Chain A
């Protein structure tokens, strides 16, 4: 009886082990599908502010768990929340919240029309030509900061997005004496 149990379990174990081994060989998934899914959530501007080579590198690091979900400055709060939901972890919004949404703006008096910012912008958000004042399309700017780094006259700078009647909304109520 005792021997029969050992023998039958050993045979079962061996058969299932072999099955799994065969399945692993024939039904192999190329690459980690999670990486592609995460990359979909990232802004895709390849700005490199996270320290990884482009959004694919960042997605790889996020999938490995070697990078925090708040690594993407231009993505803002929405991306942090989307990533946290995807990876099933708690989002740490403390560092993201402080900065608020930013946008690049050209100080027209000191723009010399060198076209450097216009060449590096990953989303074509800057319009300009040699010897012409450059201008930023607010809707297309992700505030990646690449233009700020190359500007020779510090004319282009990241500014906080101005609050308008369309974007204003009520602040979260503060409840004194009641735990949040």
Chain B
């Protein structure tokens, strides 16, 4: 009973989609051939886009800084290989909108020549601030998909007294096996990375949570963690176990308050692949220029896991996996539950790309939506404890405020509700639309307040100029009159004489 409470204490909702991880789980990480051209978007993270520090025609070396972070929430970008910068312009974004984004295009010279790097033999003796600084310099962002700049997360957590560091090896999305493979093949590096992150935030406890559908990864990580402060824990397989709120609840029994952050309850969560990137950055001085990507789906000829350079066109990786077997019903970046669909295979791999899926019609199970019968299956599936059917009904009738009152802002967009809905109502699509619309309203409100201030300032200025002009005119008039009076008096005096 105690064990039951430990694992399921207060945990609600969740779904059990078919894993389909066997398609690629047994394929060791392969390296992709060096691409001819790399398209490196300036925005691969949450926050402000980076600003390029190279010009067209510059020759850059592998690992060289090519774009610097702008503002507090941003991340640096490095050249994934050596070559020449051939364009600073727009390229199609790895995003469902397919809009162009500012991108640095690099033509590789095939030499893959490294720039000089600063390695460190005793990384665990570095000061916490130094670790965070080196993580920032390496341009590391959360590799689990949220792409929040890691150094900022470390600095924020150090100040707020984090006790527990959780390394997220959940990988609950079906199909994806990139974290599974990295835990099996690079366990020692991940453990060292975890210790470095814990040192950077002064955390006392380090837990690695891995879903029990990855027994090999659990065994390898446990072996690597022997004799260290790291504790590897198996978690039940359930979607969305890899979500921050769920993994914290399962491993510590604590719940993040609505609208709060894990730091509020003394917890910090990082992805296992991020720990690997941190270890590489600090021990070897190599910035984040590559990541593991899972290529899977029934429409991919040979599903596999590839270590791809950031900026590699998705098309080239698909060719590594033997190409696509038509007919493809949908291409997805990331996992099938929360990933983004895309159509143009010229999009590049970015820091947050965990998977590239080519799915057939039978895998996406698309069906026409029918009316809601209020069966409340979605309520049982919601891991956050919301009422998806009620929220969607409010949004459908344009009552966004009503949806917010029901907790729309706590929705993590995991897609569990849409997955279980027997009427195939695109519930999470409603929530994404509503969140976007609310953000747009907020932006226009802020803009209106700003322009109102500008208008007031202008009116004030015009009134002041008018007043000053009138005062100056009055002064001139008075001076003129005084002069005339003086002249008249002088004339009168002269006459009198």
Cβ–Cβ contact A78 & B99, under 8 A: no
A155 at interface, CB cutoff 8 A: no
Cβ–Cβ contact B429 & A173, under 8 A: yes
With A79-B448, A165-B101, A180-B396: A46-B455 Cβ-Cβ less than 8 Å: yes
Cβ–Cβ contact B397 & A44, under 8 A: no
Residue of A nearest to B369 (CB): A175
With A169-B436, A173-B433: A43-B455 Cβ-Cβ less than 8 Å: yes
Residue of A nearest to B444 (CB): A78
A150 at interface, CB cutoff 8 A: no
Which of B53-61, B70-78, B402-410, B456-464 forms part of the interface with chain A? B456-464
Among A139, A140, A169, A171, max chain B CB count under 10 A is at: A169
Q: How far is the CB of B442 from chain A (nearest CB, A)?
A: 9
Tally of A interface residues using CB under 8 Å: 34
Cβ–Cβ contact B429 & A165, under 8 A: no
Interchain CA distance A78-B452 in the complex, whole Å = 14
A1 at interface, CB cutoff 8 A: no
Cβ–Cβ contact A170 & B432, under 8 A: yes
A49 at interface, CB cutoff 8 A: no
A169 surroundings in chain B (CB, below 8 A)? 432-433, 435-437, 439-440
Cβ–Cβ contact A165 & B95, under 8 A: yes
With A122-B455, A163-B99, A169-B436: A178-B450 Cβ-Cβ less than 8 Å: no
A76 at interface, CB cutoff 8 A: yes
A175 surroundings in chain B (CB, below 8 A)? 369, 396, 425
Cβ–Cβ contact B433 & A172, under 8 A: yes
Cβ–Cβ contact A75 & B369, under 8 A: no
Interchain CA distance A103-B452 in the complex, whole Å = 16
Interchain CA distance A9-B436 in the complex, whole Å = 61
Interchain CA distance A75-B482 in the complex, whole Å = 53
**Range class of the B interface residue count:** 35 or more
Residues 32 to 80 of chain A near chain B (Cβ within 8 Å): 43-46, 75-79
Choose from A78, A165, A173 the contact partner of B448 (Cβ within 8 Å). Answer: A78
A167 at interface, CB cutoff 8 A: yes
With A165-B99, A169-B440: A44-B456 Cβ-Cβ less than 8 Å: yes
B343 at interface, CB cutoff 8 A: no
Cβ–Cβ contact A76 & B444, under 8 A: yes
Cβ–Cβ contact B445 & A78, under 8 A: yes
Cβ–Cβ contact A171 & B93, under 8 A: no
With A43-B451, A140-B450: A168-B99 Cβ-Cβ less than 8 Å: yes
Q: How far is the CB of B73 from chain A (nearest CB, A)?
A: 13
Interchain CA distance A170-B435 in the complex, whole Å = 9
Residue of B nearest to A82 (CB): B445
Binary B-proximity of A6-47 (CB < 8 A = 1, otherwise 0): 000000000000000000000000000000000000011110
Residues 129 to 180 of chain A near chain B (Cβ within 8 Å): 139-142, 163-165, 167-173, 175-178, 180
Main secondary structure of the interface of B (DSSP, over half): helix
A139 surroundings in chain B (CB, below 8 A)? 447, 450
Cβ–Cβ contact B430 & A172, under 8 A: yes
Cβ–Cβ contact B450 & A43, under 8 A: no
Residue of A nearest to B447 (CB): A139
B443 at interface, CB cutoff 8 A: yes
B361 at interface, CB cutoff 8 A: no
Cβ–Cβ contact B370 & A165, under 8 A: no
Binary B-proximity of A110-128 (CB < 8 A = 1, otherwise 0): 0000000000001111000
Choose from B435, B443, B451 the contact partner of A45 (Cβ within 8 Å). Answer: B451
Residue of A nearest to B96 (CB): A170
B227 at interface, CB cutoff 8 A: no
B117 at interface, CB cutoff 8 A: no
Residue of B nearest to A178 (CB): B371
B444 surroundings in chain A (CB, below 8 A)? 76-78, 101
Cβ–Cβ contact A178 & B370, under 8 A: yes
Residue of A nearest to B397 (CB): A180
Choose from B440, B452, B454 the contact partner of A124 (Cβ within 8 Å). Answer: B454
Binary A-proximity of B80-106 (CB < 8 A = 1, otherwise 0): 000000000000010111010100000
Interchain CA distance A78-B96 in the complex, whole Å = 26
- Spell out A's residues near B (CB within 8 Å): 43-46, 75-79, 81, 101, 122-125, 139-142, 163-165, 167-173, 175-178, 180
Shortest 10 CB-CB contacts between residues of A and residues of B: A169-B436, A44-B452, A123-B454, A45-B455, A168-B97, A170-B433, A170-B432, A173-B429, A173-B426, A78-B444
20 A-B contacts (beta carbon < 8 Å): A43-B451, A43-B452, A44-B452, A46-B459, A75-B448, A123-B454, A124-B457, A140-B450, A140-B454, A165-B43, A165-B93, A165-B97, A169-B433, A169-B437, A170-B436, A172-B437, A173-B429, A176-B369, A178-B371, A180-B397
